[in-house]
């Protein structure tokens, strides 16, 4: 089990290591780019997507082409360098990365393995050498180490107590310390459903400044796979909500958070969308109303509401979105003519839970974990490529 103080220190060290690995990767990309410009100039004419007359299309034109026509897979016969040359190039870049990593770590005496406790009695110089090799290998090995230690931290158990939610979804004073029981790292995120499919699509023009909450209008027992199938296969959209919360409180991510989702027409470009599984509209006579419970639960389960509050609070911290319901956090019906998120959705209780989680994460330890969380892949950042 990792103690709080040691875990915070380890996260700071790993965040530093991750930053160094990103710098080395960018350096190698520059070196590789300069090499290709001199060695493979003749291949430049094959870059981009050819238009109807063979011209090269800009990125917005490519996106428009993708929207209006299904993708066509084709190959281009181009002059390829000898395989031995490619292999040598990749090998030399890897060696250069390792040399850069070990050089930096040895110069500043920076080591990870002794503080983490993986090698007992290791010398500082050997620790710096091994750390340099790890960092020089790229950001993926550091990501793997971070995820491994994070899982250990989450498995170690929460330090505080959950807020007590009453029958109407309102936090009840239990006489105990009402602090969030979870770490920020306990909110899962790995890019969502097929994140690579959005690599060149749905790019965000700026950080999100609005959060829209929904119900899926499906049966509360429906699965995350059912939501994906409905949106991707039935509706034919490229993606949907950013996060979906099951009735048991399980958090699943659909759209990459660094991309625009398809969930609220008119505000998709600036918003993040979260949907709670179920139908919480109970007005009799309205189309698709759940007034008799024919779609399962008529209001979100307490665990479901709390999980949704965690995600929203995390988004507010990640993207500096003020916790202002009705302004920066809105129901779908507040931006479109719809009944979503349902007439029986407990908006007041949801607001209280979001504020509770947001304030609990203002602590120094939570902010340290937030710095680490921001290093995850597929998060929007103005300071690095996404």
Cβ contacts of 359-365, under 8 Å, gap ≥ 24: 360/160, 360/179, 360/180, 361/180, 361/184, 361/313, 361/314, 361/317, 365/4, 365/8
Q: Are 137 and 98 in contact (CB under 8 A)?
A: yes
User: According to the model, what pLDDT value does residue 363 have?
Assistant: 83
**Cis-peptide, bond into residue 359, ω within 30° of zero:** no
Give me the tens of pLDDT residue by residue for the chain, a chain 386 residues long.
344 445 566 767 777 887 788 788 878 878 877 766 665 444 444 444 444 443 433 434 433 433 333 333 333 334 444 456 667 777 888 888 889 888 898 888 888 777 766 666 778 888 888 888 888 887 777 766 666 565 544 444 444 444 544 444 444 443 333 444 456 777 999 999 999 999 999 999 899 999 999 999 999 999 999 999 999 999 999 999 999 999 999 999 999 999 999 999 999 999 999 999 999 999 998 988 999 999 999 999 999 999 999 999 999 999 999 999 999 999 999 999 999 999 999 999 999 999 999 998 888 778 888 888 888 889 987 544 43
User: According to the model, what pLDDT value does residue 94 have?
Assistant: 82
Which domains are seen in the chain, by residue range?
A: 4-40+81-153 (no CATH), 159-373 (3.40.80.10)
């Amino acid at each position: 089990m990792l103690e709080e103080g040691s875990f915070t220190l380890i996260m700071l060290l790993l965040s530093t290591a991750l930053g160094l690995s990103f710098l080395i990767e960018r350096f190698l990309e520059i070196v590789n780019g300069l090499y290709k410009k001199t060695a493979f100039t003749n291949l430049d004419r094959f870059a981009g997507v050819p238009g109807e007359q063979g011209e090269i299309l800009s990125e917005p034109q490519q996106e428009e082409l993708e929207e209006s026509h299904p993708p066509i897979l084709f190959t281009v016969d181009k002059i390829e360098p000898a395989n031995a040359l490619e292999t040598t190039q990749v090998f030399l870049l890897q060696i250069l990365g390792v040399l850069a990593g070990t050089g930096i770590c040895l110069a500043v005496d920076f080591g990870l393995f002794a503080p983490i406790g993986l090698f007992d009695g290791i010398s500082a110089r050997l620790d710096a050498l091994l750390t340099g090799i790890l960092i020089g290998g790229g950001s993926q090995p550091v990501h793997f180490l971070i995820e491994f230690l994070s899982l250990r931290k989450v498995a170690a158990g929460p330090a505080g107590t959950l807020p007590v939610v009453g029958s109407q979804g309102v936090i009840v004073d239990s006489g105990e310390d009402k602090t969030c029981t979870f770490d920020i790292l306990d909110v899962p995120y790995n890019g969502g459903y097929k994140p690579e499919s959005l690599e060149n699509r749905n790019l965000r023009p700026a950080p999100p400044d609005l959060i829209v909450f929904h119900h899926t209008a499906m049966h509360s027992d429906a699965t995350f796979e059912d939501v994906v199938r409905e949106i991707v296969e039935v509706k034919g959209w490229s993606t949907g909500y950013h996060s979906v919360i099951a009735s048991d409180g399980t958090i699943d991510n659909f759209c990459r958070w660094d991309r625009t989702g398809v969930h609220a027409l008119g505000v998709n470009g600036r918003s993040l969308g979260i949907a709670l599984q179920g139908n919480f509209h109970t007005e009799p006579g309205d189309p698709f109303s759940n007034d008799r419970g024919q779609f399962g639960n008529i209001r979100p389960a307490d665990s479901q509401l709390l999980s949704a509050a965690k995600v929203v609070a995390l988004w507010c911290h990640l993207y500096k979105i003020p916790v202002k319901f009705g302004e920066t956090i809105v129901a779908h019906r507040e931006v479109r003519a719809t009944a979503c998120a349902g007439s029986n959705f407990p908006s007041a209780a949801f607001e209280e839970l979001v504020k509770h989680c947001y304030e609990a994460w203002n602590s120094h330890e939570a902010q340290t974990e937030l710095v680490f969380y921001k290093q995850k892949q597929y998060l929007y950042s103005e300071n690095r490529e996404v």
